[in-house]
Amino acid sequence: MIRIAAVADIHFGADSSGMLRAQFEDLTHHADMLLVAGDLTKCGGPDEGAVVARELTGLPVPVVAVLGNHDYHSDEQATVRSHLEDAGVTVLEGETTTVDVDGARVGIAGTKGFGGGFAGACGTDFGEPEMKAFVRHTMALAEGLEHGLRSLEGCDVRVALLHYSPVRDTLAGERAEIFPFLGSYLLAEAVDHAGADLALHGHAHAGVEKGVTPGGVLVRNVAQPVIKHAYNVYTFEPSRALHADAHA
């Protein structure tokens, strides 16, 4: 049995010390790893990065994260990442990592992702330089995600770890006008082309938890305002089938 704990959008500030540590201490009883789908900080300040890093230091399971838009706000994302990595957190952006669980291998490909919208209402690589830059950023990150997932061929379970959503399903409850700023179909295409067993994201605080890509990959929005718990646990049988969703 493979148990994946996941959460996003914890939005730690400089005054948030101690708010989650106690809830993470018992992780080893519920999960084999913790995946954090971005927005670890409120505004991406180095002091905020240091606080959340202390919360995640020395947890009893491996911790893997991607950054989110809040973590980029102060243009100190490299410092935030450095604080997290010094705390033992594996931070991914177009990169991959693997976690061994009782002889099984879980592969994780991560990227922040970006916006652009979904089929029928999306931005395109056309027109003003600003629009082309917007869409091309998403394209580049989606390409990195696809490459990462492909490199994990042979893993028992493959997970796409994102901040922005790959599907509109999990955005239900958000205003339709802001869907282009919450995710992109390009991320789902990357997941479907390369193959995965689960895609995790955050960012959509007013969305819903469950969705699926056009290719049938399960998507879970683990933004804390959505799951309303310290983390959710997703359990896989060795057959790769998602066995259960649980709260903790």
Query: In whole angstroms, what is the distance from residue 195 CA to residue 146 CA?
Result: 8
Strand (E) positions, 38-156?
63-66, 90-91, 95-101, 104-111, 117-118, 121-122
Q: What is the pLDDT of residue 85?
A: 98
Residue 95 has pLDDT above 90, yes or no: yes
Of residues 98, 216, 91, 89, the one with CA closest to residue 152: 98
The share of the chain scoring above pLDDT 70, in percent, equals 96
Phi and psi at residue 2, in whole multiples of 5°?
Answer: -110, 125
pLDDT digits (tens, 9 = 90+) for 205-214: 999 999 999 9
Neighbours of 95 (CB within 10 A): 15
The answer to whether the beta carbons of residues 143 and 186 sit under 8 Å apart is no
Q: Residue ranges of the domains in the chain?
A: 2-247
pLDDT digits (tens, 9 = 90+) for 37-78: 999 999 999 999 999 999 999 999 999 999 999 999 999 999
Q: What is the pLDDT of residue 126?
A: 94
Higher pLDDT, 238 or 112: 112
Q: CB within 8 A of 138, min separation 6: which ones? A: 113, 114, 115, 116, 184, 186, 187
Residue 134 has pLDDT above 70, yes or no: yes
Instruction: Please report which confidence band the pLDDT of residue 240 belongs to, taking 50, 70 and 90 as the band edges.
Output: low
Reported pTM? 0.95
Residue 244 has pLDDT above 80, yes or no: no
The share of the chain scoring above pLDDT 90, in percent, equals 88
Q: Both tokens of residue 121?
A: 């209402």
Return the CATH class of domain 2-247: alpha beta
DSSP three-state, residue 5: strand
If residue 54 lies in a helix (H) or strand (E), which one and from where to where? helix 46-56
Residue 248 has pLDDT above 70, yes or no: no
Instruction: Please report which confidence band the pLDDT of residue 131 belongs to, taking 50, 70 and 90 as the band edges.
Output: very high
